Amino acid sequence: MNIYDQAHQLARDLKQTEEYREFIRLKQLAYEDSTNKALLDEYKRLQFRMQAKVASGERMSDDDMQKIQRIAALLQLNEDARGYMFAEFRFQKLLADIYKILGDVAGIDIDALTQSS
C-alpha cells in the first residue's frame, strides 16, 4: 500500500471516529438556525483573520477583538452553537494530535510553531 492510499484510509477512519460524527451532527444542528449560521460564519471569518495576522506578526484591531468576543459570548448562550463549537474543538484536537505524530517523524516541533514569542 502506498503512502497516499494510507492517507486516504486515515481520512476514511477519521470519518468513523466519535469526534467526527459528533462534530458533523452538531454542525448540522447549529447551522439549521439562520441566526446561528450568520454568527458562526462571522466568528470563523474573524477567527481566520486573527490567525492570519498573528502568523504574520501583526496584531488584530481592538474593534475586531471586541467583535469576536461579543459573537463568542452570544454563541455560548445558544446550546446548539455551543455544542457545535466544543465538538469542533475536540475534532481539531484529534487532528492536531495526528499532525504532531506526523511532524515528529519529520522533525517538526509543532508545539514550538504554536507558541508566541
User: Domains (ranges, CATH) in the chain?
Assistant: 3-109 (1.20.1500.10)
Q: What grid cell was written down for 14?
A: 477519521
Kindly indicate the confidence band of residue 111, based on its pLDDT and cuts at 50, 70 and 90. Answer: low
- Global confidence as pTM: 0.80
| Tens-place pLDDT, residues 5-39 | 999 999 999 999 999 999 999 999 999 999 999 99
Helical segments of the chain, H only = 3-15, 18-31, 34-55, 62-77, 79-106, 110-114
Q: What grid cell was written down for 111?
A: 508545539
Long-range CB contacts for residues 35-38, cutoff 8 Å, separation at least 24 = 36/75, 36/78, 36/80, 36/81
Comparing 33-37, 43-47, 53-57, 107-111, the range with the smallest average pLDDT is: 107-111
